Amino acid sequence: MKKLIYLSFFHVLAVVLLACRDDNSELGHSLVETSFRNVFVDTCSVDISTILLDSMLTKGDSICQVGYRADTVWGKVASTYYAEYSTVNFTPDETHTYAFDSLVLRLKYSGHYWGDTLAAQRISVYQLKRPIVLDNDQDLYNYTSWPKEDTPFFTFEFKPRPGRGKEQTIRFPDAMGRMLLEGLVEENDAFDSQEDFKNYFHGLAFVPDEGGSCITGLQVNDSAMVLTLYYSDISTERVQKELAFKVNEDYAYTGIVYDRSGTPLRTSPAASKTSYIPTIQATGLTSKG
């Protein structure tokens, strides 16, 4: 009889324990042996801080940011892209004739932007005064400044289309294209190696006009921000060909210049020494620094 009472007691206890078990305690059971208790909180408080970084590495980014934007919070922000271009492999045939057609910059949008995409952006292209070199820690940052020629050799306008994903082409002055093609056909030593080429053609700076109202994200890869040289190879027939001068991403970066006067950030301890580089999203702005 006593044994029966003990068995009945343990049976009731087991039923009670099983009835009170939280199904959520099985979470992750298929991966590891686990047992835990869930706690539900009615309210909580969160402390949030905004931090301005001293610097941000922008060398080798797969997206460059070009444009100008005046904002009541962030101030006046100008984003310039500096790029060294790689040489190409080309062996001319002495029995052929080569005719220049055009030199075109290929732009591909990353989908990121900050500002008004309906307004045209005006970009001035400068040649660099000397080849880009890395700083003491072998990097390039948003605050890095590089000397460029006093006047642009070329200026163009475009309307950002970040949501369409289409390629946009900008025709460069023919003089630069002819210079490149003639150097290749004449087998100029400047095209023999990247070191020789960068000393011959230092690179370009894409500088926004201060009257702009948008900073646009542009892809940087084997087919974007590329200078494409179109030419004709003429022998018994005329054949259209092209050569692609790609960005050497090891020596390319986005540089940021800003003015925060008259904004809430003007009193920030870091405001006098840091550059701000935004992550530009299709739905607005998310700060990276």
- Does residue 128 lie within any of the structural domains? yes
One digit per residue, the tens of pLDDT, for the chain of length 289 reads 544 444 454 554 554 444 444 555 555 556 666 666 666 777 888 888 767 666 788 999 999 999 999 988 888 999 999 999 999 999 999 999 999 999 999 999 988 888 888 888 999 999 999 999 998 888 999 889 899 999 999 999 988 877 766 788 999 999 999 999 999 999 999 999 999 999 999 999 999 998 889 999 999 999 999 999 999 999 989 999 999 999 999 999 999 988 888 887 776 554 444 444 444 333 333 333 3
Evaluate whether residue 188 is within a structural domain.
Answer: yes
- Report the domain count for the chain: 1
**Is the residue at 41 inside a domain?**
no
Cα–Cα distance measured from residue 243 to residue 77, given in angstroms and rounded to the nearest whole number: 35
Q: What integer pLDDT is reported at residue 111 of this predicted model?
A: 87
Detail the DSSP E strand segments found in 116-237.
121-127, 154-158, 167-171, 204-208, 214-219, 226-234
Domain membership of residue 51 (yes or no) is no
Q: Which residues make Cβ contacts (< 8 Å) with residue 73, sequence separation at least 6?
A: 263, 264, 265
pLDDT at 263 (0 to 100): 80
Does a structural domain hold residue 54?
A: no
Q: What's the confidence (pLDDT) of residue 86? A: 97
Asked if residue 50 belongs to a domain, the reply is no
The reported pLDDT for the residue numbered 30 is 63
pLDDT for the residue 266: 72
Q: Is residue 230 part of a domain?
A: yes
Contact between 124 and 152 (Cβ < 8 Å): yes
How far from 164 is each of 10, 147, 172, CA to CA, in Å? Answer: 69, 34, 23
Q: Which of 236, 219, 189, 277 is nearest to 93 (CA)?
A: 236
- 181-to-88, 172, 219, 248 alpha-carbon distances in Å: 11, 14, 26, 19
Q: Which of 205, 220, 107 is nearest to 161 (CA)?
A: 107
Residue at 2 is within a domain: no
Query: Which residues form the domain of 181?
Result: 63-287
- Where does the chain show beta strands of DSSP type E? 63-71, 75-85, 97-115, 121-127, 154-158, 167-171, 204-208, 214-219, 226-234, 238-245, 247-259, 278-281, 284-287
Give the closest residue to 140 by CA, choosing from 199, 222, 55, 201: 55
